[in-house]
Homo-oligomer: A and B are copies of this chain.
Amino acid sequence: MRGPVVADTADTTYHHGNLRAALLERAAAVLAESGPDGLSLRALARDLGVSHAAPSRHFRDRRALLDALAADGFTELNRRLSEAAGAPGDTESRLTGAARAYVRFAVERPALLGLMFAAKTEQDPTSCLRELGHESLRLAAALVEQGQREGLVRPGDPHRLAQVAFSTVHGLATLALGSLLDDTPLDEALDLAVDVLLHGLRAPAASV
């Protein structure tokens, strides 16, 4: 060893131990630029200079790889959300910041967000993925609870109110990714959504 060589160029020395990490890294790049359908285990193995059967040691399935990518996506999203939720400022600006962080994530990694929520549809077991998704909702619920203490949000189960808030922001991200927002600047659409949402959360339940 001649020094603290952490990661020179991606020469040829994967193989021992970091194949799993290398697969995930390369897979994330391919997903971002070719979508999930462009992601092939064999091509991945080829890119990494490894036999086409090698990935199966680290991921039983193609699905397992996809799920791992989605899990990493939720982890990163939750990191950003909790950072935004812990930022200085009042609860209203924190909630706005979290919404912005969510939409930013969606715009930066559209295919990944799609995978995160598409994967769940075909899931059943005690999935690690579902747990990570719940963590997102828990972060939102914590913000809602803060808002309730300040009288900014109506009384009621913070988890249920958080489901509504999450729906609005996630739905808007979906519209944006689907080019369904047209000429509306995403920032403006988001500001309006947050405004409507905050007013709706404040008002006491009664109308319906």
Cβ of A179: which chain B residues have Cβ within 8 Å of it?
A: 120, 123, 130
Interface size on A, residues (CB 8 A): 56
Q: Are A121 and B170 touching (Cβ within 8 A)?
A: no
Taken together, the copies of this chain in the complex come to: 2
Q: Are A174 and B171 touching (Cβ within 8 A)?
A: yes
Q: How many angstroms from the CA of A133 to the CA of B96 in the assembled complex?
A: 27
Is there a chain B Cβ closer than 8 Å to A172's Cβ? Answer: yes
Cβ of A197: which chain B residues have Cβ within 8 Å of it?
A: 164, 196, 200
Cβ of A97: which chain B residues have Cβ within 8 Å of it?
A: none
- Given the known interface contacts A121-B35, A200-B198, A208-B194, the answer about A167 and B171 at a Cβ–Cβ threshold of 8 Å is yes
Q: How many angstroms from the CA of A194 to the CA of B163 in the assembled complex?
A: 12
Is there a chain B Cβ closer than 8 Å to A137's Cβ? Answer: yes
